């Protein structure tokens, strides 16, 4: 529709100020998102944060209480589901048991009276590497193979947008990991925009180009997986994407023309890059990922750019082959976690050892306030 195009630079999907209420409950809260074409986009968040509701509004299965959904610039808020150029793959993939794999994939095309139905269906099956099983019934396939048939069925008519709602949720862990890589490869090959809903941070990080972390019906942070991991803007994001140590502190000075914050943590000064921090002044939470932290001896000299906390006592070690997870009770601060690679294949710090914790200051992040983490 001329004139209806958005100014969002040709986004495949725009969600603009969308709210969804169920009675008095706000499931999706004034959400705005834009997904560029060809992106593998993940909506990541804990159970109940509004991911599925958002997806259902994009599919047309749920009507927004307020706001606009646009596909390729066109307002589809009032367009019924079957008229939207969108397919959805659910966790329960519901293949027709009495039809062959090929006929399952061809089904939607036949209904549309498309031409070359058989060739197109076979091509979609080749994409998911199942063409050799085209004549089988779904019951004669493994769970992972059935999921791939569902995917072939969803891409066969080349939708502008493919929505995936926990599509791998029913698979065991090993198969899940394998399918994650396959899905990513398939998306790159077909070039269709994928919007993938999951509560599994590893899944989102493995597959997506862009991840929106949702909490309480809102996007807390949006970015590339590496960006979110390295630069979390809220304690929720820091904890939802991997583990982090968070300790309360107070901003006492700014250094380097404002590029660095000097933060007092239990009487010790640490430095936090201002650019990696959602913090300004006053009370803050200072964070660092466990794998960034090194354990050094109580009298070892740290590196020049290090932040150092301690002394403290190693209270627990848990060996995991290539690495060991240590719990260190830092005097006056509490227990912090450290992941260290095992040099020579064994853990080197025994429980009871008096140690300090050191890490490269640029890996530190900080958030305003000292409230505890709210999740879910």
Binding site for ligand ATP (CB under 6 A): 22, 25, 27, 45, 47-53, 199
Q: Least CB distance from residue 114 to ligand ATP, whole Å? A: 33
Sheet containing 161-165, strands listed edge to edge, beginning at the edge strand earlier in sequence: 86-90, 161-165, 193-198, 40-44, 210-215, 218-223
| Inter-residue contact 16 to 346 (CB < 8 Å) | no
At a CB cut-off of 8 Å and minimum separation 6, what does 215 contact?
A: 45, 46, 49, 236, 240, 374, 375, 376
Q: Least CB distance from residue 83 to ligand ATP, whole Å? A: 22
Cβ atoms < 10 Å from Cβ of 208:
24
Q: Least CB distance from residue 215 to ligand ATP, whole Å? A: 10
Q: Least CB distance from residue 225 to ligand ATP, whole Å? A: 19
HSE toward the beta carbon, residue 249, CA cutoff 13 A: 28
Which C-beta is closer to ligand ATP: that of 4 or that of 24?
A: 24
CA distances from 88 to 48, 63, 156, 295 (A): 19, 16, 12, 48
Which C-beta is closer to ligand ATP: that of 56 or that of 289?
A: 56
Q: Least CB distance from residue 200 to ligand ATP, whole Å? A: 10
Q: Least CB distance from residue 30 to ligand ATP, whole Å? A: 15
Which C-beta is closer to ligand ATP: that of 52 or that of 234?
A: 52
Which C-beta is closer to ligand ATP: that of 29 or that of 209?
A: 29
| Inter-residue contact 117 to 123 (CB < 8 Å) | no
Which C-beta is closer to ligand ATP: that of 49 or that of 208?
A: 49
Q: Least CB distance from residue 197 to ligand ATP, whole Å? A: 6
Backbone angles phi, psi at 131, to 5 degrees: -60, -30
Q: Positive or negative CA dihedral for 73, 78, 82, 83?
A: negative
- Take residue 84 and report the two structure tokens written for it: 């939207």
Closest CA to 113 of 59, 58, 153, 157: 157
- Take residue 50 and report the two structure tokens written for it: 């509004």
Q: Least CB distance from residue 237 to ligand ATP, whole Å? A: 16
Which C-beta is closer to ligand ATP: that of 194 or that of 359?
A: 194
Q: What is the spatial distance between Cα 338 and Cα 335, in angstroms, rounded to a whole number?
A: 10
Q: Least CB distance from residue 216 to ligand ATP, whole Å? A: 9
Which C-beta is closer to ligand ATP: that of 47 or that of 341?
A: 47
| Inter-residue contact 42 to 214 (CB < 8 Å) | no
The helix/strand/coil state of 224 is coil
Q: Least CB distance from residue 27 to ligand ATP, whole Å? A: 3
Terminal-to-terminal C-alpha distance of the chain: 40
Which C-beta is closer to ligand ATP: that of 37 or that of 48?
A: 48
At a CB cut-off of 8 Å and minimum separation 6, what does 155 contact?
A: 87, 124, 127, 162, 186, 190, 192
Which C-beta is closer to ligand ATP: that of 51 or that of 148?
A: 51
Q: What is the spatial distance between Cα 239 and Cα 219, in angstroms, rounded to a whole number?
A: 15
Which C-beta is closer to ligand ATP: that of 50 or that of 60?
A: 50
């Amino acid at each position: 529709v001329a004139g209806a195009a958005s100014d969002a630079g040709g986004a495949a999907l725009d969600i603009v100020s969308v709210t969804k209420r169920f009675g008095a409950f706000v499931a999706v809260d004034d959400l705005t998102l834009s997904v560029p074409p060809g992106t593998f986009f993940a909506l990541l968040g804990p159970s109940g944060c509004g991911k599925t509701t958002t997806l259902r509004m994009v599919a047309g299965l749920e009507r927004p209480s307020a706001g606009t959904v646009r596909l390729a610039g066109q307002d589809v808020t009032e367009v019924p589901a079957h008229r939207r150029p969108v397919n959805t793959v659910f966790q329960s993939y519901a293949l027709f048991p009495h039809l062959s794999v090929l006929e399952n994939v061809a089904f939607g095309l036949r209904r549309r009276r498309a031409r070359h139905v058989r060739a197109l269906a076979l091509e979609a099956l080749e994409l998911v590497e199942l063409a050799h099983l085209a004549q089988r019934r779904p019951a004669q396939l493994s769970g992972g193979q059935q999921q791939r048939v569902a995917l072939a069925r969803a891409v066969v008519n080349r939708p502008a947008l493919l929505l995936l709602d926990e599509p791998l949720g029913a698979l065991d862990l090993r198969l899940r990991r394998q399918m994650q890589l396959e899905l990513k490869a398939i998306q790159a090959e077909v070039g269709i925009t994928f919007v993938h809903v999951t509560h599994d941070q590893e899944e989102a990080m493995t597959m997506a180009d862009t991840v929106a972390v949702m909490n309480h019906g809102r996007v807390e942070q949006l970015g590339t997986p590496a960006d979110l991991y390295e630069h979390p803007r809220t304690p929720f994001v820091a904890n939802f994407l991997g583990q982090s140590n968070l300790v309360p502190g107070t901003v006492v000075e700014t250094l380097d023309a404002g590029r660095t914050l000097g933060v007092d943590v239990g009487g010790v000064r640490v430095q936090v890059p201002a650019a990696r921090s959602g913090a300004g002044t006053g009370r803050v939470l200072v964070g660092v990922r466990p794998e960034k932290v090194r354990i050094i001896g109580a009298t070892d000299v740290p590196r020049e750019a290090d932040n150092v906390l301690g002394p403290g006592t190693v209270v627990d070690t848990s060996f995991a082959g290539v690495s060991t997870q240590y719990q260190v009770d830092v005097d006056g601060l509490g227990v912090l976690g450290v992941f260290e690679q095992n040099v020579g294949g064994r853990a080197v710090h025994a429980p009871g050892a008096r140690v300090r914790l050191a890490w490269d200051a640029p890996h530190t992040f900080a958030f305003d306030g000292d409230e505890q983490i709210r999740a879910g």
